[in-house]
Amino acid sequence: MKITQARLHAVRFPLHEPFIISYATYPDMPSLILELETDNGLVGYGEAVPDEHVTGEYFTASYEVLKELFLPAVIGMNPFDIEAIHHKMNGILAGNPAAKAAVDIACYDLMGKASGQPVYNLLGGQSKEHLSYPRVLSIESPEIMAKKAKQAVEAGYGSLKLKVGAGNAQLDVERILAVREKVGPDMPIRVDVNQGWKSVGTAVAAIRQLETAGLSWVEQPIRMGDIRGLAEVRQKTAVPIMADETVQSMEDLLEIIRLDAADVINIKLMKCGGIFHAVQMAKTAEAAGMLCQIGSMVESSVASSAGYHAAMSRINIESTELTGPLLFSEEIGDLKYEHPHVLLSGKPGLGIEVDPEKLKKLTVTSCTVGGDFA
């Protein structure tokens, strides 16, 4: 089986409401949807959601990287040769993990379809019965976040993720405590600062005020790359610490393990380059006694389902937060959510159907690499 042609779609997914985190406000979500076709007529889907704040990739630049470099390089290759494909992409251009993830995910979709198996069966099988996800609340006033949190509890969600870190750490503490007061003591709450508290001192002061709030963890409280600083925050506080933007590669993970800098790591396919590396990182974390999460860069059903397949295959991936499709007012796939669970179909590959008419409608521009695309 050989990859014969590719079609790349630059898409902008409309959101129900703006998505607000510490470093950006998104009125819509830019994404690159990839189709890879093989000589036996199979089509695999992949996705890249570049984030210049995290991986240093930009939407239009990643489109050109795929179009001019990565897609021509994989034409003629067997999608099962996933290590060779990654080696080839790495030899062409360093970094660019989201662009590489698009190719990786499409290859796994093809592998599953060719073998008649869901992707998780190619990675280790079904390690858990259910996959769940939280209600994610973007940054708003303490009162509005508390109100939305209460509505989420009443709607049947089993956990909450609060986005904070917009510049005022004390106001963030008020947001978190307001939500805790509104939902009661038993609802699991995760806090994601997205680097917003920046310094060790600010993070420690804020977290110490939250030590009686019963938080599951505080995620990436300081700037990315400062692993020693993250270790210091962990040593000086009593709330579990999750590393996110700081852990993008296996090298980052090894340094976090060496410095005992986090209790949990947040693996994202867009940060590490796809399913292949995500599973490797989860196995390495397991050897170090660490738990993992598969997190989201607000992807569609394509990359979200890929993340859920990776999570299904590994016992130490205990949480998932791939909720992008729920935030979109228009989507291209049919990944099924019944909160608090997501339901993988068990069909071959990613197990989703992509609606070509919706894809066409949401596409801003597209290109073909290789032969004519049917």
**Binding site membership: which residues?**
192, 219, 244
Residues annotated as binding site for Mg(2+)?
192, 219, 244
* Annotation marks residue 182 as catalytic: no
Residue among 100, 113, 148, 268 flagged as catalytic: 268
CB contact at 8 A, 305 and 278? no
Instruction: Give the Cα separation of 214 and 200 in Å (integer).
Output: 21
Partnered with residue 12 across adjacent β-strands are: 30
* Annotation marks residue 268 as catalytic: yes
Amino acid making up residue 198: K
Closest CA to 336 of 347, 344, 327, 348: 344
Number of other residues whose CB lies within 10 A of the CB of residue 276: 21
How far CA 141 is from CA of 163, 164, 175, 260, in Å, comes to: 11, 10, 7, 34
Match 């858990």 to its residue by tokens: 128
SS (H, E, C) 226-295: CHHHHHHHHHHCCCCEEECCCCCCHHHHHHHHHHCCCCEEEECHHHHCCHHHHHHHHHHHHHCCCEEEEC
Torsion angle in degrees (nearest 10) through CA of 28, 11, 349, 83: -100
Tokens matching residue 79 = 């999608």
Number of other residues whose CB lies within 10 A of the CB of residue 87: 11
Residue among 113, 163, 198, 271 flagged as catalytic: 163
Catalytic residues: 163, 268
